[in-house]
Amino acid sequence: MKALVATQKPFAAKAVEGIKAIFKAAGIETVMLEKYVSEAELIESVADVDALIVRSDKVTKAVLDAAKNLKIVVRAGAGYDNLDLEACTAHNVVAMNTPGQNANAVAELAMAFMIYMSRNRFTPGTGSEISGKRLGLQAFGNVARLVGAKAAALGMKVMAYDPFVKPEDMEAAGVEVAESLEQLYGSSDFVSLHIPATPQTVGSVGASLVSLMPKGACLVNTARKEVIDEASLLALLSSGREDLKYIADVAPDAAADFEQALGKRYFATPKKMGAETAEANVNAGLAAANQIVAYLKDGCERFRLNR
Ligand code: 3PG
């Protein structure tokens, strides 16, 4: 059997070693496709593999059509908007993710982002502290829970909104429960986004919510660029609310316009970098390999996303 690791953004070397060792012990050959640039390269490489590990790499119908032996694809990470789940099901391919495995890395970056913006992006001048400030978490999954705990430890007051999590579970985690998104935005000096990109969330964060934020507030996005309504956010932050800030770990499509109009009040990393730590790569990469072995050997379907 063969497993392909296809990563446009490669894993740390230690993660690759670990993945290879897990597959070798299970009698599976590992094939690597790193830093590829076109879908055609992925299509060529999946032709004879039984299993596939990806990060944000797009697993489209065309890829699945070409993967005649494919039985399982694991997205080493949390968000699976890059997998065509319907096509996976139609091709009898099991799709999984590895929830929580890279969450700490993303949470640490969200914390760093808040401090970076509070200190004027490390340029001269008087900044502010995050201690005592109010943090609003939009959604309360694995990353948000870690951000909440870290923020509380640094003296922030944490509130969360998540219609899919029981209020008592949020309270048990020590965060105040927001009744609505409007309340969350209206009472947060920082809002940190932790929603997935779904048809319901794409383009859902824009001027109508962000305009509710108090003076000097900052929107922090380590989720997906697609959840932002870029046009309305840019319009709001460039005229009317020149006090607000935006920081993201993936550049908006209109990055140049944001940069030009907002100056120091905007920053985005050129590539999505929340999960870019050796630890996160090892956690998510090895989990993906173990899930593949468990499925191929024992039919274990834990973390299956499609039915
Ligand atoms: C995720 O959904 O797990 C994160 O966004 C990380 O994505 P990446 O593996 O492409 O860095």
Q: List C-alpha distances in Å: 296 to 50, 54, 72, 238.
A: 9, 17, 8, 53
Measured between alpha carbons, how far is 220 from 214 in angstroms, rounded to an integer? 14
Among 166, 168, 148, 150, CA closest to 158: 148
**Strands 218-221 vs 176-177: parallel, antiparallel or unpaired:** unpaired
Amino acid letter, 261: A
Check: CB of residue 89 under 8 Å from CB of residue 306: yes
User: Candidates 8, 16, 53, 55: which one to mutate for ligand 1, based on the most atoms within 8 Å of Cβ?
Assistant: 55
**How does pLDDT run along the chain (307 residues), one tens digit per residue?**
999 999 999 999 999 999 999 999 999 999 999 999 999 999 999 999 999 999 999 999 999 999 999 999 999 999 999 999 999 999 999 999 999 999 999 999 999 999 999 999 999 999 999 999 999 999 999 999 999 999 999 999 999 999 999 999 999 999 999 999 999 999 999 999 999 999 999 999 999 999 999 999 999 999 999 999 999 999 999 999 999 999 999 999 999 999 999 999 999 998 899 999 999 999 999 999 999 999 999 999 999 999 9
Instruction: Say which residues have a Cβ less than 8 Å from residue 161's Cβ, sequence separation at least 6.
Output: 136, 137, 138, 139, 140, 177, 178, 180, 181, 183, 184
- CA separation for the pair 138, 164 (Å, rounded): 11
- Residue 98 CA: nearest ligand 1 atom is 3
Cα 284 to averaged position of ligand 1 atoms, centre (Å): 10
Closest CA to 134 of 215, 206, 204: 215
CA of 117 to the centre of ligand 1 (A): 23
Give, using CA atoms, the residue closest to atom 6 of ligand 1.
275
The pLDDT, as a whole number, for residue 270 is 87
Structural contact between residues 105 and 277, judged by C-beta atoms closer than 8 angstroms: yes
What per-residue confidence (pLDDT) applies to 52?
Answer: 99
- Provide the whole-model pTM: 0.97
